[in-house]
Amino acid sequence: MLESTWQWFLGGGSQQILLTAIVFLLIGLFLGKRMRSPGEGQQPVAADRGDRSFFKGVQYLLSEDHDQAIEEFTKSVQVNSDTIETYVTLGNLYRSRGDIDRAIRIRQNIILRPNLDEQIKLGALFDLGKDYLKGGFLNRALKTFLQVSQKKPDDVRILKEIERIYEGLKDWENAYATRQKIAGLEKGHHEHILAHHLVEAGKVYQEKDDVGRAKTLFSKATSIQKECVDAYLHLGDLHFKKQEYKKAIAAWKKVAEVAPQFTFLAYRRLEGAYTRMKNLEPVEVFLKECARSNPDAFTHMALARYLYNKDDMAGALEEINNALSLNPGFWEARRFRGQMFLNRGASEDILADYGELIEGLNVPYLRFRCAQCGFEPNELLWKCPQCNQWDTIGLINDNESP
């Protein structure tokens, strides 16, 4: 039992301070017995003093007084410098309070110890990688985690740290290769992450005007995950740039098929393509079909804009009212309706009053929230920057509680 507990500790459970305290209480009891066993060569008084400091440190951890815990653990190692686990605790405490330099020095000193158990060394290397990561030294962290992974190639926890760094470095192809390894070791759904890695890699080639390579990656992403909206959007953008308007339209319309809730991302793109083809009628047909099959405020809003530009004021007003009936707090729709009233030439006093009102309603009408951690970005992101999860950000309904 003690061995498995020790392995848990070395494996990163120390990030949870209260659980660490409980683990070290068990380890401390074991070490207390060992330090008092015959033949240790320690003076009993010194050993007792080191034990007292160790247990005081544990008590301060339980009360979350990290400064006092550090002070007591430091006293403990001054008495008995052989207790690796106490140094590990100190390193974790220094990292938790942002003192990365000290944490790094402690890990390095542990690693340099002669005759150090291999598993303990790997645990210290892993913690060193976490220290580098916390300090923003991504390349150093990556090198350290890769070193640990060579010895423990099937450790998913380490692979996920490596993947996270590749994502941070925007090395999407290596991130993809790492996620493939994770998928081979861990059950679950990995397709959406693999698809996003491919899309992000494709965007890099797209920026370099390597259209062929970008197209291959976007297409591969849709084959891995057919619901990958970002892939269809960028695939359509590539076709549009090459003036392949029909292919672009087909790619963008695919969004409505696989993920209707994100169809609004394709509206302006479709309008641009049909405009180039000098035939806007299919836009109206498509929007009306979307409004019929998957009614939402954004679709009605897009249709209202289209009809307004077509000088169909009655139809535009009807669609705006449909949007507001579905989402009364859709301020962009209210503002647009106000602009329509203004342009229709109502009473001067009412126009002035309403014009002032609608200017005050110029607020973002697309609001997003991460279902995993609650983070609310200003724009739609496929990966949450706060909890680092893919595909957890979606639209906030007006009636949805915060």
Q: Indicate where the chain has its CATH 1.25.40.10 domain(s).
A: 2-152
* Residue 35 one-letter amino acid: M
Question: For every one of its 402 residues, what pLDDT tens digit does the chain have, with 9 covering 90 and above?
Answer: 334 444 444 444 444 444 454 445 435 544 554 444 444 444 444 445 445 655 565 555 555 655 666 556 555 554 444 566 666 777 777 787 777 888 888 788 778 888 888 888 898 899 899 999 989 999 999 999 999 999 999 999 999 999 999 999 999 999 999 999 999 999 999 999 999 999 999 999 999 999 999 999 999 999 999 999 999 999 999 999 999 999 999 999 999 999 988 998 999 899 899 989 988 889 889 999 988 888 888 899 999 999 988 889 889 989 988 998 888 778 788 888 878 877 776 566 456 546 666 665 565 667 899 999 999 998 899 999 999 999 999 988 655 544
Contact 230/198 with Cβ under 8 angstroms?
A: no
Transcribe 125-183 into DSSP letters.
HHHHHHHHHHTT-HHHHHHHHHHHHHH-TT-HHHHHHHHHHHHHTT-HHHHHHHHHHHH
Structure token digits, residue 400: 């949805």
Find how far residue 310's CA is from the centre of its chain.
42
CA angle 355, 357, 359 (to 5 degrees): 70
Q: Residue holding tokens 């169809």? A: 263
Contact 371/392 with Cβ under 8 angstroms?
A: yes
* Residue 247 one-letter amino acid: K
As beta bridge partners, residue 369 has: 394
pLDDT at 4: 43
Structure token digits, residue 215: 């197209």
pLDDT at 177: 98
Structure token digits, residue 375: 């983070």
Contact 163/182 with Cβ under 8 angstroms?
A: yes
CATH architecture of 2-152: Alpha Horseshoe (1.25)
Query: What are the Cα distances from residue 167, in Å, to 34, 106, 306, 371?
Result: 45, 28, 39, 21
pLDDT at 336: 85
Cα 88 to Cα 200: distance, rounded to the nearest angstrom = 37
pLDDT at 109: 79
Sequence-separated (6 or more) residues with CB below 8 Å from residue 303? 284, 287, 288, 291, 319
Contact 287/308 with Cβ under 8 angstroms?
A: no
Q: Burial letters for 70-105: b for 16+ Cβ neighbours within 10 Å, e otherwise?
A: bebbebbbebbeebbbbbbbbbbbbbeeebbebbbe
Q: What is the dihedral of CA 293, 296, 297, 298, to 10 degrees?
A: -80
* Residue 191 one-letter amino acid: E
Query: What are the Cα distances from residue 169, in Å, to 140, 161, 212, 217, 252?
Result: 12, 12, 24, 19, 29
Contact 110/124 with Cβ under 8 angstroms?
A: yes
H or E element that contains 55? helix 44-62
